[in-house]
Chain A
Amino acid sequence: MAKPPNNAKSAPKHKKGAAKKNKSTSSGVNAEDLLRFYRQMLLIRRFEEKAGQLYGMGLIGGFCHLYIGQEAVVVGMMAAANKQDSVITSYRDHGHMLACDMDPNGVMAELTGRRDGYSKGKGGSMHMFSREKNFYGGHGIVGAQIPLGTGLAFAHKYKEDGGIAHAYCGDGAINQGQIYESFNMAELWKLPVIYVIENNRYGMGTSIERASATTELYQRGASFGIPGAQVDGMDILAVKAAGEKAAARCRAGKGPFILEMKTYRYRGHSMSDPAKYRDKEEVSKVRKESDPIDNLRDKLIAAKVADEATLKDIDKDIKAIVTAAAEFAQASEEPDPAELYTDILLEA
């Protein structure tokens, strides 16, 4: 899986099949885990669909970046995480919150800008946090979460708490200079951080080929000596297996690791994206052939882990959770006007 990144000259040319290497079997994953992953991915899918609906109804404002299509990445990575690990990402973040076990009600209520949202309605779609769940946001400046995540790793190492940081960014962010500043310090100081690059092929409307001089993003740490691997981000078991290897290396004090997740988003960059930069066939082909939820569903049935009836029950459960979240998010009141001037500074 891990490719030696040290010799840039031997970097392979773009290989379509590279991502296939991490297709895993379900070895080491029990039926209960598989069903849990299915539930978690489905929760994200249905939650995001509902968010899209609420946006259409004008109940969610501003920017709203949906995670639909990429569910296997964060659910697979969280399957490889320990409780003390910290997670940080950018603005396509609802999936990460749900995968960190944050309450769907609180997330949805933040999307609607209500007082019971995770940030009391003051953060919105892009800015939610949970100290309790070690979720550190929710950041809106492309790439800026990577130095922050590197700092979380610094804190793990300093406090010797055994945790590692999971710092996510997209293929669009990967050309920001501060990411390489972070790579340098992380390897220099052997910080326990996994950089998860969610390569969904488009930074907003610009395809990776039009934005990146080199498109094998797992090699972007090569000049710092950071190993990387390319993973089929549509296959949750491949993600989990890669995440476990990377995490083990970090926990052993060997420094950072880069995982490039080849994934895809079905929806636009944000809600107001007319998606003229890719054709519909491309989207429907991925949906049809590589959907992470359908794939796992097929596996569950083939392995007789679950039958249609069980899966239908799960569907129903998830739908109920999401419906309840949407209702909660509409019933919750707007923040008290007095909240305008709170949470600016802590009492010294």
Chain B
Amino acid sequence: MATQILMPALSPTMTEGKLAKWVKAEGDKVASGDILAEIETDKATMEIEAVDEGILAKILVAEGTEGVPVNTPIAVITEDGEDVGDIGVAAVKAPTPAAPAAAPATAAAAPRPSSQPAQEPDYSGPTVHISVREALRDAMAEEMRADELVFLMGEEVAQYQGAYKISQGLLDEFGPKRVIDTPITEQGFGGLGIGAAFGGLRPIVEFMTFNFAVQALDQIINSAAKTLYMSGGQMGAPIVFRGPNGAAARVGAQHSQCYASWYAHVPGLKVVAPWSAADAKGLLKSAIRDPNPVVFLENEILYGQTFDVPDDPDFTLPIGRAKVERPGADVTITAFSLMVGMSLDAAEALATEGIEAEVINLRTLRPLDTDTIVQSVRKTNRLVTVEEGWPTAGIGAEIAAVIMEHAFDDLDAPVARVAGADVPMPYAANLEKLALPTVDQIVAAAKSVCYR
């Protein structure tokens, strides 16, 4: 059967090209793989090969012709003994026109989950007073008891008992098969953990700090976050990446960054940032059970702080739900992680001046609990966002945009952001203090949006 050779697309962007040269002449025999012609594309000169064997019966576009559109017939190849006249019936099927593209959805039109994640369960049972450190350890231990497929890996998590003692006692209880000291090789064990998740396990990967996780960032984003989508829903990665995030004290620029907005930017990840011990325990248990990759941002300064925690192995907190830690009618303050405590301190101070602040503990940064923030702003008409990280393209910037989209008419003042200074973290004690948000700054921001 005769076949037409069409002007090929030779690059992702080529729409037309120059037929630079015919290497074969009419009447030549061609075999699969033979070079037929040279085409000049927008990028380079390329050769086109014959796919089937036969005779180059007719050249339809002379060499030297410029601007030949992709898919124009340029030659006819016939089988031995066949006439060129047969081509009419045997033409290569023209490409089917693509279906009209759907209008691109705007961000605002993106479907939002129809149902909110479950409400935080009402708990009235007994509580224990424990540190965030113990809460994290208990969460992992309980989930490891419940599911054989859950394991913990990271630097110093086993014999050393955790660089920050989060995994204290886990090696003794679960043994070296499930509590694994890794070499110092974040990209390697980050990727290995994701591969293990593809393979059916439920890894918890501890980064000694999220500053080091940047070495594994490619794996977290390109392998963990995107694969479910790239596989059309087949290949999820149920994995938790956890460790301390943000500044501790006097550890300098490379150990003090908050990565919340980096991860919150990425579809396919869930991003959680607990404040209290109850947050830490309830959210980490949910994260371990979650079938998706969860980035779990802890805070070194909080590790030693103690809180009441429900004394119940079934206690979990829903990912995707913020918590109103302190109700108030005058101004909304959003915060996460360490900044929740500071915002509550600020609310105390504001109360002495007659301003009742509503403090929202975001808990989850992706998916952000927009409804809780919007409802609060509808009541208070004023918003201050607080975060330890840099202001530019930060969580506060995102919340300000969300509020503008959903509650613009409810605002009585521009949204105010309190954030870390837009500088690498300095070492000197006085400079470091200046680089981090303070209770005074939160108070001042709240007063400014109240025009006080």
Residues of A within 8 A of B (CB): 49-50, 52-53, 55-59, 61-63, 86, 88, 117-123, 127-131, 136-141, 144, 146-156, 158-159, 165, 177-178, 181-182, 184-185, 188, 266, 271-276, 280, 287, 330, 333-334, 337, 340-348
Decide: A120 near B196, CB < 8 A? Known: A181-B185, A185-B189, A340-B105.
no
B227 in the interface (beta carbon within 8 A): yes
- Whether the pair A120, B232 counts as a contact (CB closer than 8 A) is yes
Minimum distance in angstroms from A217 CB to a CB of chain B: 19
Note all chain B residues with C-beta closer than 8 A to A137.
Answer: 227, 230-231, 235
B199 is contacted by which of A49, A139, A152, A266 (Cβ under 8 Å)?
A152
Q: How far is the CB of B68 from chain A (nearest CB, A)?
A: 13
In whole angstroms, how far apart are the Cα atoms of A188 and B14 in the complex?
Answer: 49
**In the complex, are the beta carbons of B235 and A129 less than 8 A apart?**
yes
| Other-chain residue from A117, A130, A165, A274 in contact with B46 (beta carbon distance below 8 A) | A274
Q: Bound complex: CA of A185 vs CA of B188, how far in Å?
A: 8
**Whose C-beta in chain B lies nearest to the C-beta of A134?**
B199
Q: Chain B: how many interface residues by the 8 Å CB criterion?
A: 76
Chain B residues contacting A144 (CB-CB under 8 Å) are 191, 218-219, 222-223
Cα distance A333–B196 in the bound complex, in angstroms: 34
Asked whether A57 and B192 contact (CB < 8 A) given A49-B51, A345-B228, the answer is no
Q: List 26 A-B contacts (CB under 8 A).
A: A56-B10, A57-B9, A57-B94, A58-B9, A58-B71, A88-B195, A119-B232, A122-B229, A123-B232, A127-B230, A127-B231, A129-B235, A147-B187, A151-B195, A151-B196, A151-B198, A154-B195, A155-B199, A185-B182, A271-B11, A272-B12, A274-B43, A341-B110, A343-B228, A343-B232, A348-B286
A62 (CB) vs chain B CBs: closest residue: B12
Q: Which residue of B lies closest to A154 (CB)?
A: B196
Please name all residues of chain A whose beta carbon is closer than 8 Å to the beta carbon of B292 when the two chains form the complex: 345-346, 348
In the complex, what's the smallest C-beta–C-beta distance from A97 to chain B, in angstroms? 12
In the bound complex, do residue A178 and residue B187 qualify as a contact, i.e. CB atoms below 8 Å apart?
Answer: yes
Contact at A343–B233, with CB atoms within 8 Å? yes
Q: Mark B95-134, 1 if CB is under 8 A from A, else 0.
A: 1101100100100001100000100000000000000000
B193 at the interface (CB under 8 A from A): yes
B235 and A136: CB pair below 8 A?
yes
Chain B residues with CB under 8 A of A334 = 98-99
Q: Are A122 and B232 in contact, with the CB atoms below 8 A?
A: yes
Query: Which A residues are in CB contact (< 8 Å) with B219?
Result: 144, 147-148
Closest to A50 in B: B51
Q: Does B281 contact A (CB under 8 A)?
A: no
- Provided the pairs A158-B196, A340-B105 are in contact, do residues A57 and B234 lie with their beta carbons within 8 angstroms? no
Q: Does B302 contact A (CB under 8 A)?
A: no
Query: What residues on A are CB-neighbors of B41 within 8 Å?
Result: 272
Do residues B9 and A55 form an inter-chain contact, with CB atoms below 8 A? yes
Chain B residue numbers with a CB within 8 Å of A53 are 51
Residue in chain B with minimal CB distance to A327:
B93
* Residue contact A348 to B290, C-beta cutoff 8 Å: yes
- Residues on A with C-beta less than 8 A from B182 are 185
Residue of A nearest to B221 (CB): A141
Q: Which A-chain residue is minimally distant from B292 (CB atoms)? A: A345
B192 and A182 within 8 A (CB): yes
Q: Is B197 an interface residue (CB 8 A)?
A: yes
Of A57, A119, A148, A184, which is within 8 A of B195 by CB?
A148
Complex alpha-carbon distance, A280 and B11, angstroms:
20
Q: Which residue, of B71, B183, B219, B235, has the highest number of chain A Cβ atoms within 10 A?
A: B235
Which residues of A sit under 8 angstroms from B98, Cβ to Cβ? 334
Confirm or deny: B291 has a beta carbon within 8 angstroms of a beta carbon on chain A. yes
Tell me which residues across on chain A come within 8 A of B195, comparing CB atoms. Answer: 88, 136, 147-155, 165
Q: Which residues of A contact B223 (CB under 8 A)?
A: 139, 141, 144, 148
- Taking a contact as CB atoms closer than 8 A, the residue among A182, A184, A276, A330 that contacts B96 in the complex is A330
CB of B60 to closest CB in A, whole Å: 15
Closest chain B residue, CB of each to CB of A110? B232
- Which residues of B have CB within 8 Å of A188? 183
Determine the chain B residues whose CB is within 8 A of the CB of A55 once the complex forms.
8-9
Ordered nearest first, which 5 A-B pairs have the shortest CB separation? A151-B195, A147-B191, A181-B188, A155-B199, A56-B8
**Given A266-B33, A348-B289, 8 more pairs with CB closer than 8 A:** A53-B51, A118-B232, A129-B231, A140-B222, A151-B195, A165-B195, A182-B188, A271-B11
Of all chain A residues, which has the CB nearest B8?
A: A56
| A119 contact from B32, B47, B48, B231, Cβ within 8 A | B231
- Contact present for A151 and B111 (CB under 8 Å): no
Partner of B234, one of A58, A129, A154, A347: A129
Q: Most chain-A CB neighbours within 10 Å: which of B182, B227, B231?
A: B231
A330 to chain B: which residues have CB within 8 Å? 93, 95-96
- Evaluate contact between B190 and A86: CB separation under 8 angstroms: no
Q: How far in angstroms is the closest Cβ of chain B from A114? A: 10
Q: B414 in the interface, Cβ–Cβ < 8 Å?
A: no
Looking at the assembled complex, report how far the CB atom of B346 sits from the nearest CB atom of chain A, in whole angstroms. 33
Tell me whether A159 and B200 are in contact in the complex, defined as CB-CB below 8 angstroms, given that A117-B232, A272-B10 are known contacts. yes
Which B10-51 residues have a C-beta within 8 angstroms of A? 10-12, 14, 32-33, 35, 41, 43-49, 51
Residues of A within 8 A of B199 (CB): 86, 136, 151-152, 154-156, 159
Interface residues of B in 209-252 (CB under 8 A from A): 218-219, 222-223, 227-236
Minimum C-beta distance from A227 to chain B (A):
20
Which one of B92, B195, B268 has the highest number of Cβ atoms from chain A below 10 Å of its Cβ?
B195
Chain A residue numbers with a CB within 8 Å of B319 are: 348
Contacts of B59 in A (CB 8 A): none
CB neighbours of B48 from chain A (8 A): 56
Determine how close the nearest CB of chain B comes to the CB of A167; give it in whole angstroms: 9
Q: Which residues of chain A are within 8 angstroms of B229 by Cβ–Cβ distance? A: 122, 343-344
Kindly provide the distance from the CB of B292 to the nearest chain A CB, expressed in whole angstroms. 5
Interface status of B177 (Cβ within 8 A of chain A): yes
The distance from the CB of A155 to the nearest CB of chain B, in whole angstroms, is 3
The residues of A that contact B185 with a CB separation of less than 8 Å are 181, 184-185
Residues of B within 8 Å of A129, CB to CB, are 227, 230-232, 234-235
Residues in B neighbouring A156, C-beta threshold 8 A: 199
Residues from chain B with Cβ under 8 Å of A58 in the complex: 9, 70-71, 95
